[in-house]
Amino acid sequence: MVIGPVSKNMLVALKKTYAAMPEPKFIITCGDCACSGGLFKGSYYVEGAVKDILPVVLHIPGCPPNPLQIITSLNAFLHRI
């Protein structure tokens, strides 16, 4: 679960973490910053949306999303797979 914007410093760590994950790999973005870049979109220090870097299976929108929205989205996702 990625919960914030992907900065230039975190790009390598994110890719290494994804490579180290066992199958099946599920990337979930939580919040507008992870989904699209949010307030930081277009900043020189932000790489962009996570979906442009890794394959995302679930987006939980909000700035920030409330806990009930997160639980409901995760529950619906778990029932789908």
User: What is the pLDDT at residue 50?
Assistant: 92
- Reported pTM: 0.85
- We report the CATH number of the domain holding residue 44 as 3.40.50.12280
The number of beta carbons lying within 10 Å of the beta carbon of residue 59 is 20
Which of the pair, 73 or 42, is modelled with greater confidence? 73
Is residue 11 predicted with pLDDT exceeding 90? yes
d(CA 63, CA 33): 8
DSSP 8-state secondary structure symbol assigned to residue 52: G
Q: What is the mean pLDDT of residues 33-51?
A: 87
Average pLDDT over residues 51-65: 92
Q: CA-to-CA distance for 17 and 1, rounded, in angstroms?
A: 11
What pLDDT is stored for residue 38 in this prediction? 83
Is 1 part of a structural domain of the chain? no
CA distance 20 to 17: 5
- Domain containing 55 equals 6-80
Number of domains in the chain: 1
